[in-house]
Structure 1
């Protein structure tokens, strides 16, 4: 039961962080394209790669700590469901090119980010 509580704590922190980061990005770049969602997915993917190597491959951190950060924190921070609804909204508005850009950028950039995080952690 305690592991579930730690995941919930991490989730609360991750959700608040997502809210702050995405709104900050939208305030900076506007809402014409889902920049806030792309930013948190990119940064979350990078952190997932980096922290996975450091916390799972390099050290034997307690399961509760790994679950708090990787499952709860980053799980709530990244926003695949938000990506999905924003992409659908672009399609429904007829903004097919922006929808395709969002799909391509979100997948390719976030795969590159998780790779960069893994690579960086393995270089340490």
Structure 2
């Protein structure tokens, strides 16, 4: 139990710090929309897709790594609450088009990135298996 708690906690700390750093760096560069939040969600979806492909191929993967990467890091790195707050802020400021653009960017971008992650993850796993069989 303590190992699981430590695994999730360490992953979450790294994920939250990574998202915070991304926001500091990118949100000031792209004032039109909170690009750091968008990129965190898209990269997180892409990485989740890769992890799904790896878990399919290696279901026996150590649970502590799954907890660290998915439950800890990716859950803290991606951010539905920031996304929601940004959309509502735009809507309340009568900036409907910006709010709708953010919704579509996160939703469709996230689905696309997860799909790409699964596709690339399968290729990586296939190549890894071929290397191991040589």
- TM-score category (smaller protein): over 0.9
For the aligned residues, what is the CA RMSD?
1.1
Residues 42 and 113 of structure 1 are in contact (CA less than 8 Å); yes or no, is this contact kept in structure 2? yes
Greater gyration radius: 2
- Corresponding residue for 1:22? 23
- Corresponding residue for 1:64? 64
- Corresponding residue for 2:129? none
TM-score, normalised with respect to structure 2 = 0.86
Residues 50 and 120 of structure 2 are in contact (CA less than 8 Å); yes or no, is this contact kept in structure 1? yes
Q: Which structure 1 segments of 5+ residues have no match?
A: none
Q: How many residues align?
A: 122
- Say yes or no: does 1:33 pair with 2:33: yes
- Corresponding residue for 1:80? 80
- Say yes or no: does 1:49 pair with 2:49: yes
Residue 72 of structure 1: how far off its partner (Å):
0.4
- Say yes or no: does 1:11 pair with 2:12: yes
TM-score, normalised with respect to structure 1 = 0.93
